[in-house]
Structures are given as structure tokens and as C-alpha cells.
């Protein structure tokens, strides 16, 4: 029996019927009758002392069951790596949109109407509008208690300042290398914070059962993480908490960590036996729940006249907003990869997570790599200009290869992707050598840009995944993992891996949809593009375990040693005499002899994986091995600029990435193309606009603009396959990477078109028009 491999084919997604028929139920599609609805009062100030909050009128409104303020939970602090955030503001609000009070009522309309009856007094304070302002001497200290917050050891806050984390890289001697470099360039690059804007707003529905157990349905990427953090925040043991993650309507990092769950649970504990639903409006989802960080940066690069990079000295200041959340680790991850995918022998970098009075920031697709990439790629553009060198050649020359070391001193092993091959593909796709800049007959200017990226998951050293494989009467297999479906299609990748390993028809393999901490095997978090890699490894082990069990059972009725058996095509059979065998359906739940005797019992395959050989970073030099596998690639764009009014669009976007092994090409392309589209939005329009007191002026989809149909460029997505030795069938992560190089590539192309270096985002038409006008005068 021979089967052709299905790996590398693109079967229809298994969730297509559910998602195209409306049958799929997301978290907010599972509201039970009798549910209470919470509505939140958000701070109208970015920084203010809270005076009196009067809820009396709200409490008297028909249908209202309760109204609460920060004073109701005087001791609770929540945080992912550092507990710095109260569930409702206490004493002080630190950002525009911070939750101040909450009303719980029988229905949502009543809760919302009652909310309008709450009277809250504020005394505004001066608001910090950027990391540099927050680091200036005399700046107000937003977290006076920074020194006493509960935190993990890898995070290094500086109490008495607004620095929530500082990660340091000291590799070689950057100062000396810069002093002796014949060519040195320096630049400052920045952009404001923005939002993930996943189409599903966040929601949590919590019930504190009359049996004392807490159940939370949440639109989360990390059910197990939420369980752990809830346990810490609420003082309930993990065994009494169940977190259920239905498929999520887009995450992009914004639903990792812990979000609405603590407040929903605290409220539920006030109303035992009744579920409490806390659902974000779109506006709250954008401004009150976390977004992505902003950046201010300074980069110096020293190189030889031939363009070999000698050293980088850089400072990346992440605007984390009012609370640290994931951003402390984002800034740490940026340190690990700070140079971008280039061989830089001497590095000095400080990456800081800084508190400001902006909406707080969390993980975002790319996890610190868009930021570092934008800064380093822009600096390389300055270098290329100074050297008079093609920016592509400069990158090719310095591309990181196996044997080189990363900023933390880890050696790139032979598993490392082939960056030069990726650059070559982009070069071809954009017809790079035909010229980088042209003036069209109608006066518009067409220009090209290129950037490279790398990323390794910034994960705890003990990051894990697990899987179980069980079977039904028909011999079909069911894989259970703790992975959450966010749209990335992990389940279809896992399904292909299991089908391949079992030699089974794809239709006979299912992957369980909901992740449920009571039922699913443990899984760190669905983030960092690691699900296919880690859960894939666990799935392979589960298959191997199940196959061994199947052979053991079948060896008795087939009267042969287990070693002579093979499992494939839905059968277990003798390798040398395939006619002799049994259908799996007669074995997987136990084999029954003709006389009624039975052996075996249900087969359950068990698999697990834990990150291999990771270590922490030295606090002074950054030395260590914090990154698992490195995914590398190159991206390029072609843009068109109208010099008269700054009208601007990206017409082509190309990405070539070394993914190790393509498991499901259509899914991979979808991830890359979607990420590029998001990157175009990031570079050209997406950012919060703040007023002079740091209030958000564009906190709705009416004002915060996302890419629409017809605005997308022509996409090219190419894959290079240098196998990842320890990846499932050689695969490595690819979900986030496609966004990383886009801002840099677009800024390069726009700068070339405009004839002026553009060092700030977003590149709106007005921004371009202004820069061109200033350059002329």
C-alpha cells in the first residue's frame, strides 16, 4: 500500500464549512439566557486624580444589579510579567480610556443607560506624550510603586523612573569599532502607538458557579496563561478555574496575555450563579484594551568603505503607555534581535519599555521586530546613501549566515534560513535591476524599496505544547491540543502533519476546535508563530505513541512481532505481506476476537514538546540563547507617489521567506499576504492621533482607517525551503514575519520617491507632501 504525501498540498481548510455558513460560534455567540451585562465608564483624561465617583443614580436605574469602582478591589493588581494594573483605576487614571467604574444590569441597554448617570470628578494632571518626555528629568513618575510590583526575573524595571524594563546588549566593543569605522551614519526614527483592530472585539463571559468553580469563556489566545494569571490575581487555585477559548476572530497578539477576564471574574464573584458578560465596544477595544507600542529610536551604524558593517549602537524606546503588559517582553525581544538579520560583530543596544500616558501596549504581530527592523533598516538606508551603494547590495553583503552570531552571542546553526536566496527572489519579483526610481508620464514617481527581517520566538525557556490523539469507532483520529484557532489555520497544518504521520486520509483526521483548560492538554500560548512548530512536534510524538499502541494490540490477532507491523491507509498490516492486516476501526478501541474476548482498549496517543536549550539573558550584556528557531526573509515594495499632493500607494509587495518546509502552501501564502497588507496599513495610515493632553482623537473605525478592498497591492509570496532540523517535517514558524519588513521597505521606497529621508510613520499623503515641501525650501 503506497500513499502519496499530502504535505505541501493545499486542501480546503477544515473550518471552511463552519466559517462560510455562519455556523461557527465565537465567544460572544455563546451567551446564555439570564446573563448579566457589564458596561464600563472610561476615563476622559489621559492623566488625572480621581475625585468622588457617585454611582447612586446608576444603582437606582431599573434593571441595575450593581455598580463598582476601583475601591471595591483595593488590593488586586494584574499583569502578565509584572502586576502593575488595577482592574478599575484607583486614585489615578493613567490613560485616556482607562476603566473607572462598571455597571452590571440585566440587559445591556439598561447597563449603558445607567452608566450615563454616574458622576465622576477628575483633577487633570500633566500627561506624558512620548518615551523621551517620560525619561526627561523631572517627568512625573507614573508608577511610584514600581519597585514593589510582583514580576518575573527576566524583566528589569528601574524604580523611581518611568522605565518598566531595560534590556542591554553588549557584544564586542561597539564604541571602539564605531570610532575606527571609516563611515558612520546616525538617525532617529519613530512612530506613534496604534491598534490591532482585529474584527472581533474582545469579550469575556465569566460565571462563578454555585459549586465554587469559576468558568470563563474568553476571546483569548492564551487560555492557560489566563488561568495562571487569574489564579494569582483572584487567589483561587488553578483547579477551580476553567478557561474556554472558542475560535477567535483575529488576534494579532492583542488577545494574548490577560485582558477583560479579571474584571469579568471579579464581577462574576459578586453574582454567584449568574454569568456576567463584559464585551468591548469597538471604541473600547481600540483605546481601553491594549494596542501596539509606539517607538522612538536612535541608531548609529559604522561600516567600512566597502559597506561591511562593523558596529551598531542603538537605543529603542518602546512607548508602552500606562501599563507594562506584554510590552516589557516586547522590548526584551527587540534586544535579542536588535541588529536585524545582519552580521554585526560589535553591538551596543539599550531597549527600553517606557511608561507614558498613552493607551497601554501589548504584543503585536512581529513582537518588537517591526520596531527594531524599521529602525535598523532606515539606518541601513542612510548608510547605503552615504556609500552610494544599492540598498539591496548592502543587505546582501551583510546578510547573516550560519556561523555568524546574534546580538546575544548565540551562534546561528545550520538550521538557519537562507537569507541571500530570499533577497534574490525579491530582486526578481520587483525587477529590481531595471531601476529603482522612475518618473511616469503623468508626473507621478514610481520607486522601490527592500528590507530584510528575522525573528525567533521570544518565549519563556520552558515554553511547552502537548497533544493527545484518540480515535472513533470508524477509525478516524482526533487530535486535541491547547492551540487556539485565530484564523491562522494551525489546525489544518496540524491535520496535515497527523495525516502524513499516520498515513491516513485527511478526511479521517480532525483537530478539536475549542481550547479548554479543563480538557485540552497544556499549551503555553497561541502566539510567537510557534504553534505549528511546537504543537506539530507534540502531535508527531502523539502519533508515534498511538501507532505503537495500535501495533501492540494488533500483534496478537495478527500473530506477529510488533516490529513487523506498519500503520498506513487506515490499516495495520504486515510490512512484508500487506494483505495480512486489520482495519484500524477494529483495533483503535480494542480488538474483539470472534468468541467475544477483547484486548487492548481505546488507544490514546500522548505527545509533548518543550523548548530546547533556551537560556535567559545576562542582565548586563544580554548574553544567552533566548531565541528558538530563526525565520528569515526579505520583503520589497513598489510605490507610486504624486509629488503634487503626496498621494501615495503601494502597488506591489513581495515577500520571500525561508519557512524550512511548506506544510500547507495556501495557508502559508494567506499568512504572508495578510501580514503584508497589515504592514501597508501600519506604514501608511495606522496610528493613534493624540490631542495636546494625550486624548485619543481617532479611537473608532470611522476615524482609524484600515486597508479596504481595492487598496491592496499586487502580492508576491515566495518560499525558500531550508529544512529546520528539529521542526516537524522541517517546518518553522511563519505567521507574523510577513509584516516585519514592510514599514522599512515602504519608508525606503517613499523616501526615494520623495527625494527626502522619511523617518517617521505613518506615511500619509500630508506627511509626504510636507516633507517634500520642507526639503525644497
Q: Which of residues 174-233 bind ligand FES (CB under 6 A)?
A: 199
Residue 697, exposed/middle/buried by CB under 10 A (0-12, 13-18, 19+)? exposed
Question: Site size for another protein, by CB under 8 A?
Answer: 78
∠ at Cα 360 (359, 366), nearest 5°? 115
Of 344, 343, 351, nearest in space to 311 by CA: 344
Shortest distance, CB of residue 193 to another protein, whole angstroms?
15
Residue whose CB is less far from another protein, 711 or 760: 711
Shortest distance, CB of residue 373 to another protein, whole angstroms?
19
Q: Which does 26 bind (CB under 5 to 8 A by kind): another protein, ligand FES, none?
A: another protein
Shortest distance, CB of residue 6 to ligand FES, whole angstroms?
24
| Whether 595 contacts 381, CB under 8 Å | no
197 binds another protein, rule: CB under 8 A: yes
Shortest distance, CB of residue 646 to another protein, whole angstroms?
8
| Whether 440 contacts 640, CB under 8 Å | yes
706 binds ligand FES, rule: CB under 6 A: no
* DSSP classification of residue 703: T
71 binds ligand FES, rule: CB under 6 A: no
Shortest distance, CB of residue 699 to ligand FES, whole angstroms?
15
Residue from 250, 578, 643, 765 binding ligand FES (CB under 6 A) = 250
| Whether 451 contacts 655, CB under 8 Å | no
Intra-chain end-to-end CA distance of the chain, in Å: 76
Residue whose CB is less far from another protein, 7 or 118: 118
666 binds another protein, rule: CB under 8 A: yes
Residue whose CB is less far from ligand FES, 23 or 71: 23
Site string for another protein, 10-49 (x = CB under 8 A): --xx-xxxxxxxxxxxx-xx-x------------------
3-state secondary structure of 463: coil
Shortest distance, CB of residue 349 to ligand FES, whole angstroms?
35
Q: Show contacts of 431-437: CB within 8 Å, 24+ apart.
A: 432/392, 432/636, 436/390, 436/752, 437/752, 437/753
Residue from 710, 774, 776, 777 binding another protein (CB under 8 A) = 710
Stretch near another protein under the rule CB under 8 A, chosen from 208-216, 235-243, 496-504, 703-711: 703-711
Residue from 107, 158, 413, 577 binding another protein (CB under 8 A) = 107
Q: Tell me, letter by letter, the H, E, C secondary structure of 307-358.
A: CCEEEEEEEEEEEEECCCCCHHHHHHHHHHCCCCCECCCEEEEEEEEEECCC
| Whether 534 contacts 608, CB under 8 Å | no
Residue whose CB is less far from another protein, 97 or 157: 97
Shortest distance, CB of residue 250 to ligand FES, whole angstroms?
5
254 binds ligand FES, rule: CB under 6 A: no
Contacts of 56 (CB under 8 A, 6+ apart): none
Question: Site size for ligand FES, by CB under 6 A?
Answer: 3
d(CA 139, CA 317): 16
Of 624, 656, 655, nearest in space to 637 by CA: 655
Strand ranges (DSSP E) for 497-555? 509-511, 515-516
Tally of CA atoms within 13 A in the half-sphere of 85 that contains its CB: 34
| Whether 370 contacts 743, CB under 8 Å | yes
Residue whose CB is less far from ligand FES, 246 or 560: 246
| Whether 526 contacts 580, CB under 8 Å | no
Residue from 86, 275, 674, 728 binding another protein (CB under 8 A) = 674
Residue whose CB is less far from another protein, 44 or 420: 44
Residue from 706, 723, 726, 755 binding another protein (CB under 8 A) = 706
Q: Which does 12 bind (CB under 5 to 8 A by kind): ligand FES, another protein, none?
A: another protein
Shortest distance, CB of residue 52 to ligand FES, whole angstroms?
36
Shortest distance, CB of residue 512 to ligand FES, whole angstroms?
21
Q: Which of residues 654-673 bind ligand FES (CB under 6 A)?
A: none
Neighbours of 337 (CB within 10 A): 27
Residue whose CB is less far from another protein, 302 or 646: 646
Shortest distance, CB of residue 194 to ligand FES, whole angstroms?
17
Of 730, 736, 762, 737, nearest in space to 747 by CA: 762
Stretch near another protein under the rule CB under 8 A, chosen from 121-129, 235-243, 510-518, 705-713: 705-713
Residue whose CB is less far from ligand FES, 45 or 664: 664
Query: C-alpha distances in angstroms, 146 versus 141, 152, 165, 335?
Result: 9, 13, 11, 22
Residue from 78, 363, 676, 752 binding another protein (CB under 8 A) = 676
275 binds ligand FES, rule: CB under 6 A: no
Residue whose CB is less far from another protein, 393 or 760: 760
d(CA 202, CA 286): 10
Q: Which does 678 bind (CB under 5 to 8 A by kind): ligand FES, another protein, none?
A: another protein
Of 227, 234, 737, nearest in space to 523 by CA: 227
Q: Which of residues 479-498 bind ligand FES (CB under 6 A)?
A: 487
Q: Which of residues 385-404 bind ligand FES (CB under 6 A)?
A: none
Residue whose CB is less far from another protein, 585 or 764: 764
Residue whose CB is less far from ligand FES, 199 or 689: 199
Give the alpha-carbon dihedral of 485, 221, 253, 452, to 10 degrees: -50
| Whether 407 contacts 342, CB under 8 Å | no
Q: Given the rule CB under 6 A, which residues bind ligand FES? A: 199, 250, 487
Amino acid at each position: 500500500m503506497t500513499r502519496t504525501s499530502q504535505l505541501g498540498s493545499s486542501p480546503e481548510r477544515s473550518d471552511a464549512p463552519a466559517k462560510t455558513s455562519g455556523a461557527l460560534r465565537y465567544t460572544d455567540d455563546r451567551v446564555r439566557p439570564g446573563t448579566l451585562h457589564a458596561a464600563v465608564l472610561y476615563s476622559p483624561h489621559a492623566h488625572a486624580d480621581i475625585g468622588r465617583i457617585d454611582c447612586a443614580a446608576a444603582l437606582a436605574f431599573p434593571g441595575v444589579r450593581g455598580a463598582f469602582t476601583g475601591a471595591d478591589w483595593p488590593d488586586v493588581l494584574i499583569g502578565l510579567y509584572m502586576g502593575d494594573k488595577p482592574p478599575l483605576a484607583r486614585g489615578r487614571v493613567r490613560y485616556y480610556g482607562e476603566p473607572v467604574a462598571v455597571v452590571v444590569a440585566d440587559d445591556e441597554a439598561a447597563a449603558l443607560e445607567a452608566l450615563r448617570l454616574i458622576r465622576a470628578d477628575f483633577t487633570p494632571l500633566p500627561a506624558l506624550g512620548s518615551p523621551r518626555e517620560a525619561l526627561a528629568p523631572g517627568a512625573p513618575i507614573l508608577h511610584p510603586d514600581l519597585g514593589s510590583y510582583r514580576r518575573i526575573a527576566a524583566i528589569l524595571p528601574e524604580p523611581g523612573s518611568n522605565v518598566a524594563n531595560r534590556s542591554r546588549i553588549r557584544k564586542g566593543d561597539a564604541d571602539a569599532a564605531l570610532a575606527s569605522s571609516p563611515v558612520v551614519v546616525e538617525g532617529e526614527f519613530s512612530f506613534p502607538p496604534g491598534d490591532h483592530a482585529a474584527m472581533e472585539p474582545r469579550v469575556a463571559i465569566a460565571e462563578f458557579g454555585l459549586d465554587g468553580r469559576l468558568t470563563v469563556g474568553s476571546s483569548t489566545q492564551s487560555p492557560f496563561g489566563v488561568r495562571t494569571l487569574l489564579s494569582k490575581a483572584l487567589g483561587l487555585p488553578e483547579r477551580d478555574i476553567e478557561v474556554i477559548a472558542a475560535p477567535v476572530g483575529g488576534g494579532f497578539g492583542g488577545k494574548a496575555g490577560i485582558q477583560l477576564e479579571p474584571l469579568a471574574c471579579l464581577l462574576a464573584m459578586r453574582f454567584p450563579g449568574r454569568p456576567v458578560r463584559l464585551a468591548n465596544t469597538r471604541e473600547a477595544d481600540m483605546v481601553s484594551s491594549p494596542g501596539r507600542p509606539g517607538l522612538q529610536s536612535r541608531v548609529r551604524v559604522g561600516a567600512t568603505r566597502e559597506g561591511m558593517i562593523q558596529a551598531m549602537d542603538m537605543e529603542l524606546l518602546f512607548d508602552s503607555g500606562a501599563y507594562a503588559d506584554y510590552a516589557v517582553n516586547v522590548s526584551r525581544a527587540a534586544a535579542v534581535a536588535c541588529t536585524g538579520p545582519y552580521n554585526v560583530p560589535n553591538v551596543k543596544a539599550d531597549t527600553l519599555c517606557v511608561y507614558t500616558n498613552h493607551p497601554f501596549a501589548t504584543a503585536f504581530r512581529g513582537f518588537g521586530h517591526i520596531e527594531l527592523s524599521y529602525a535598523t533598516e532606515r539606518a541601513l538606508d542612510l548608510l547605503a546613501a552615504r556609500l552610494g551603494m544599492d540598498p539591496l547590495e548592502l543587505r546582501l553583503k551583510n546578510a547573516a549566515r550560519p556561523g555568524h552570531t546574534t546580538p546575544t552571542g548565540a551562534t546561528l546553526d545550520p538550521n538557519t534560513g537562507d537569507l541571500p536566496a530570499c533577497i534574490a527572489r525579491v530582486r526578481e519579483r520587483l525587477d529590481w535591476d531595471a531601476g529603482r526610481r522612475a518618473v511616469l508620464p503623468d508626473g507621478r514617481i514610481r520607486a522601490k524599496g527592500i528590507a530584510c527581517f528575522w525573528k525567533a520566538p521570544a518565549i519563556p525557556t520552558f515554553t511547552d505544547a502537548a497533544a493527545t490523539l484518540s480515535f472513533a469507532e470508524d477509525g478516524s483520529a482526533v487530535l486535541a491540543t491547547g492551540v487556539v484557532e485565530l484564523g491562522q489555520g494551525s489546525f489544518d497544518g496540524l491535520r496535515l502533519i497527523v495525516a502524513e504521520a499516520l498515513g491516513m486520509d485527511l478526511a479521517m483526521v480532525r483537530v478539536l476546535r475549542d481550547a479548554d483548560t479543563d480538557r485540552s492538554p497544556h499549551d503555553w500560548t497561541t502566539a510567537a508563530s510557534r504553534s505549528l512548530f511546537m504543537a506539530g512536534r507534540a502531535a508527531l510524538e502523539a502519533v508515534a505513541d498511538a501507532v505503537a499502541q495500535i501495533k501492540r494490540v494488533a500483534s496478537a490477532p495478527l500473530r506477529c512481532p510488533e516490529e513487523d507491523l506498519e500503520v498506513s491507509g487506515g490499516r495495520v498490516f504486515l510490512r512484508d505481506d500487506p494483505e495480512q492486516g486489520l482495519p484500524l476501526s477494529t483495533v483503535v478501541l480494542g480488538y474483539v476476537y470472534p468468541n467475544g474476548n477483547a484486548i487492548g482498549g481505546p488507544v490514546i496517543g500522548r505527545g509533548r514538546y518543550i523548548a530546547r536549550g533556551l537560556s535567559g539573558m545576562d542582565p548586563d550584556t544580554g548574553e544567552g540563547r533566548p531565541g528558538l528557531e530563526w525565520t528569515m526573509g526579505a520583503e520589497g515594495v513598489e510605490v507610486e507617489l504624486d509629488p503634487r499632493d503626496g498621494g501615495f500607494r503601494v502597488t506591489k509587495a513581495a515577500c520571500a521567506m525561508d519557512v524550512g518546509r511548506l506544510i500547507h502552501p495556501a495557508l502559508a501564502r494567506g499568512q504572508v499576504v495578510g501580514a503584508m497588507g497589515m504592514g501597508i496599513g501600519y506604514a501608511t495610515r495606522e496610528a493613534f492621533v493624540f490631542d495636546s493632553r494625550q486624548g485619543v482623537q481617532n479611537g473608532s473605525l470611522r476615524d482609524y482607517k484600515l486597508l479596504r478592498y481595492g487598496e491592496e497591492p499586487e502580492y508576491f509570496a515566495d518560499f525558500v525551503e531550508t529544512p529546520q532540523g528539529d521542526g516537524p517535517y522541517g517546518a518553522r514558524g511563519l505567521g507574523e514575519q510577513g509584516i516585519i519588513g514592510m514599514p522599512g521597505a515602504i519608508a525606503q521606497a517613499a523616501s526615494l520617491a520623495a527625494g527626502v529621508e522619511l523617518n517617521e510613520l505613518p506615511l500619509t499623503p500630508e506627511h509626504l507632501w510636507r516633507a517634500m515641501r520642507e526639503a525644497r525650501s
